[in-house]
Structure 1
Amino acid sequence: MTLTGWRYMLNRAIFIPQRYVLGVMGLFALANSFTMRVCLSMTITQMVLHAESTEHIVGETCPDPEGVVKSNVTSNGTTVYEGRHRYDWDEATQGLLLSAFYYGYVLTHLPGGLLAEKFGGKWTLGIGLLVTSIATALTPIAVDYGGAVGLFFIRVIEGCGEGPVTPAFVLLLARWVPPSERSRFGAMIFGGAQVGNIFGPYISGLFLSDGGDWANVFYFFGGLGIIWFIFWMFLCYSTPNSHPFISDEEREYLNKNVVASGLHKKLDPVPFKAILRSAPLWVLIWAAVGHDWGYFTMITDLPKYFSDVLKFNIKETGLMSALPYIAMYIFSFVFAATCDWCVRKRWHSIGFGRKLYTTISSTVPAVFIILASYSGCNRAAAVGLFIASMAFMGGFYSSVKINAMDIAPNYAGTCSALVNGIAAISGIITPYLVGLLTPDQTIGQWRIAFWTVFVVLVGTNIVYLIWGSGEQQWWDDVDKYGYPKGWKHGPLKKRQVDKEKKIVYPKHDHSPVALD
């Protein structure tokens, strides 16, 4: 029996719908991609040299309860470190290194979406994560030979590999998941980011404790990504109709309920002239910029805040950094289930649901982040408030993250690439900006950084509340909706252009005749 035959028999034996297999593999994909993305936030606290003591200024810096700053200490007070070299990188340099990933991430978002629509989400996503995994495993070598420059460039390569992940997954969801299940699947797959944010810092803290070598963190997470890719090759496919061992019942159900035209016919070229003039898309981009500004500040700089300001040791920093994302992951499912249920009950529209949960995931976290910044050196209060802020940010997966599928199910890959690619510029700006704003790691300096997060989150949410949409846009399916009144920018569909070209003038007659 062939390999496909064995997989078909296995699928029949365990009765697992293949869209759930895709969901679980997607969860693992996002989890591993985020562990590779955020592990530097932990390891950099051990890669850099720190002063052995700092003066405690009441009201401006927090006392170190262990009497040392971010060091591994034996019973007699001797610092022990058995890992690789440490580097004399200032706060601005660290911020630049933490932002390097997002240079590559932004660069490959749109090409990744276009490749996914042309060749399918399976290979676009799989090969991208494979590149990131290999680059992660090679990070220690890059740092050994190139120092900060080597680390910067290897992180850019990692970002290039992960750029296509979100647009490819949005396209896969648009072609695999009916609208009534999208919030649930969106939370399942994209919630994997929180699994990565949970285990990335925690496992990194375990590797780094007791003088552990920071290189082991990169070897471990890079190796996991390579193992994931092997399973992805054999278990997941770009569409239900190309899946070799999906059940007939599930294929029929998906063909009946999934609205993306790309599932049933070849799509026309991406209608960029209409997409770039679409107000709902630009409003969605603006909302995503706001969310990413807050989210990337948390995942990139929260470990530094716990370590440098609140003076947690490295193992505690890993645990404290993981707790907010445990809350975010749990609440993402609560919000997703509630949103899907209300849509099915027709208690509110998809558009209203997207705006409601965008507000929950933007304005509420902004308030808790500011409260945390005013908790001073009260470590329990600060951690509790950061946990609350990230819990409410879980509504993002029922709102902005999947809104591209609502307004453009056919071109979800390209639209998601534009949204997430432009929004990810926040990941370039925020770590470097935080580094500039917090040169001395004082509470007052960090408070200014958190106020910028508040202003951006609340401001972009207001814009989305006024102009956001949950309706499919006309340019996503011109056959269904036609052109809007006053459209003056030419046809969007290739076959319309071809038909206009098939006009000739017969011999002895000067009137045009359209050929069939």
Structure 2
Amino acid sequence: MTIISAEPVTGGTEYHSGRLGQRHLLMLLLFFGCICKQATRVGLSVAMVAMVKPPIALNITLQYTDVACPQNLPPPSNGSELQLLPVPWIIFARDSPSVHPRISHEERQYILTSLGRRQSQYANPKRRRLPIPWKRIFRTGAFYAILVAEFAHNWGYYTILTNLPTYLSNIQHYSIKKNGLLSALPYLVRWISVFFVVLLGDCLLTRKIMSVSLLRSTFSGVSFVLTAAALIGVGYAGCDSTLAVSLLVVTVGVQSLNSSGYFLGYADMSPELAGVLVGLGNGFGTTTGILAPLVAGVLTNGPGGHSIQNWKIVFFIAAGMYLFGAVIYWVFGSAEKQPWDPTVAAASSAKVAVTRQEGTMDKKEADLEEKVTFIDNPS
């Protein structure tokens, strides 16, 4: 979200960063894509609850016990969504600014200049193959810290995403209609709060109030701790449906802090290899989409499984994951660009060459420096 000041482009003209262009259209498509993704996830969770739980007759009244809570019985309803996002995405999206047929020359130069790359690097993206230093990546402690943070966050995220409708239906006894609205509410709050979070993070960085590493660790740490506290509160909320739903909204809402936290740690460590790192981290974290619902299902399965006590255990496990992730990322996380990033490696290589040419470094020292620089990262 950092706004890059206007820089001169070819021809002596100046392109203002606020001018609307193709990049804004792509961001709009991404925005709607995120909405569709979240809506589909929540909708599927609510639909599964509706399919597996038989309807309760309206003339039945449940009394409060330590197992379940009184019913909330507004009439149920059904809904549907239509997603046409792939069509404009196929029409307007391209791999890079250099091959986009509708982007203006000024905007293309602005983007490439802002990224610090020459247009020739993207003239034919298929020919551009960066070497990936796998061994050095997996020897980096900061990378494992972000993997732990990813795993911890996704455990809580998928616990809430897949089990919130079940909890609202079986414990708080909300109808399908109300269940759908309440299940979507936390993600609406998160969406709104993201805008303020990234602006705050950008302000702290541009005014040099925090370093990048401190900002990432602080925002993710605060997010994880507050989320854990809210989940513990949900466990003790019992049949107070208003308190339980409010805490669940807080649980998901404060996760927006990660938008300026560890989410950006991949690009901080290596802008050139961010896609590879995100793929590794997201792939590892997404395994919790299988594990977290499985654990919740085991704990709440069978007769009497959907009890307040069993759900308390489900929420406490997720809270423990968040606290563990907060500690690990705070201690071992880093937003420093790593030595194996291709741009850093290239700069180190150039430094070795210049130093060797000037004769200020003996041959053994230069060979050692070059070996360290290019191990598992050949040019």
Normalising by structure 1, we get a TM-score of 0.60
When residues 481 and 311 of structure 1 are mapped into structure 2, their CA distance, relative to the original with a 3 A threshold, is farther
Q: Which residue of 2 aligns with 1:42?
A: 46
2:175 aligned residue (294, 303, 313) = 313
1:5-154 correspondence to structure 2 within 5 Å: 16-50=20-54, 52=56, 56=63, 58-66=65-73
* 1:262 Cα deviation after fit: 10
1:216-255 correspondence to structure 2 within 5 Å: 217=80, 220-221=81-82, 224=83, 227-255=84-112
Deviations along 1:475-497, one digit per CA (max 9) or x if unpaired, are 112102459969679643444xx
* 1:372 Cα deviation after fit: 1.7
* 1:347 Cα deviation after fit: 1.5
Instruction: Give the counterpart letter for 2:44 in structure 1.
Output: L
CA contact (8 A) 2:224 2:326 kept: yes
1:490-505 correspondence to structure 2 within 5 Å: 491-495=375-379
* 1:54 Cα deviation after fit: 9.5
Q: Distance in 2 between matches of 1:322 and 1:304?
A: 13
Instruction: Give the counterpart letter for 2:346 in structure 1.
Output: D
Answering whether residue 252 of structure 2 is matched by residue 395 of structure 1, we say no
CA contact (8 A) 2:69 2:239 kept: yes
Deviations along 1:241-287, one digit per CA (max 9) or x if unpaired, are 22222233322222222147898362423221222222211111111
* 1:311 Cα deviation after fit: 0.5
* 1:60 Cα deviation after fit: 2.4
* 1:39 Cα deviation after fit: 2.4
Deviations along 1:406-434, one digit per CA (max 9) or x if unpaired, are 11111111100001100111111011110
Q: Distance in 2 between matches of 1:228 and 1:241?
A: 24
Other structure's SS at 2:69 match:
coil
When residues 56 and 17 of structure 1 are mapped into structure 2, their CA distance, relative to the original with a 3 A threshold, is same
Deviations along 1:11-67, one digit per CA (max 9) or x if unpaired, are xxx96222221211111122223333332211111212438579756222112244x
Instruction: Give the counterpart letter for 2:102 in structure 1.
Output: F
Instruction: Give the counterpart letter for 1:476 in structure 2.
Output: D
Instruction: Give the counterpart letter for 1:232 in structure 2.
Output: W
* 1:467 Cα deviation after fit: 1.1
Instruction: Give the counterpart letter for 1:59 in structure 2.
Output: D
* 1:368 Cα deviation after fit: 1.0
Instruction: Give the counterpart letter for 1:361 in structure 2.
Output: S
Percent of aligned pairs with the same amino acid: 26
1:472-483 correspondence to structure 2 within 5 Å: 472-477=337-342, 478-482=345-349
2:307 aligned residue (418, 425, 442) = 442
1:376 aligned residue (219, 234, 238) = 238
Deviations along 1:184-229, one digit per CA (max 9) or x if unpaired, are xxxxxxxxxxxxxxxxxxxxxxxxx34x4xxx74xx34xx1xx211
2:325 aligned residue (460, 477, 487) = 460
Instruction: Give the counterpart letter for 2:108 in structure 1.
Output: R
Instruction: Give the counterpart letter for 1:249 in structure 2.
Output: E
1:328-343 correspondence to structure 2 within 5 Å: 328-343=190-205
2:145 aligned residue (276, 280, 283) = 283
Other structure's SS at 2:209 match:
coil
Q: What RMSD over aligned residues (CA atoms) do the two structures have, in Å?
A: 2.7
CA contact (8 A) 1:362 1:393 kept: yes
Instruction: Give the counterpart letter for 1:443 in structure 2.
Output: I
Deviations along 1:275-330, one digit per CA (max 9) or x if unpaired, are 22222111111111111111111111111111111001111101111111121111
CA contact (8 A) 1:409 1:476 kept: yes
- Of 272-281 and 31-40, more deviation after overlay is shown by 31-40
Q: Tell me which protein shows more helix as a share of its residues.
A: 1
- Of 410-419 and 250-259, more deviation after overlay is shown by 250-259
- Of 394-403 and 438-447, more deviation after overlay is shown by 394-403
- Of 261-270 and 391-400, more deviation after overlay is shown by 261-270
When residues 260 and 316 of structure 1 are mapped into structure 2, their CA distance, relative to the original with a 3 A threshold, is farther
Q: Which residue of 2 aligns with 1:120?
A: none
CA contact (8 A) 2:237 2:244 kept: yes
Other structure's SS at 2:218 match:
helix
When residues 249 and 18 of structure 1 are mapped into structure 2, their CA distance, relative to the original with a 3 A threshold, is same
When residues 22 and 249 of structure 1 are mapped into structure 2, their CA distance, relative to the original with a 3 A threshold, is same
CA contact (8 A) 1:21 1:236 kept: no
When residues 275 and 16 of structure 1 are mapped into structure 2, their CA distance, relative to the original with a 3 A threshold, is same
CA contact (8 A) 2:62 2:71 kept: no
Q: Distance in 2 between matches of 1:347 and 1:251?
A: 32
What residue ranges of structure 1 are gaps of 5+ in the alignment?
Answer: 1-13, 67-71, 74-208, 496-516
Instruction: Give the counterpart letter for 1:241 in structure 2.
Output: S
When residues 36 and 336 of structure 1 are mapped into structure 2, their CA distance, relative to the original with a 3 A threshold, is same
CA contact (8 A) 2:42 2:183 kept: no
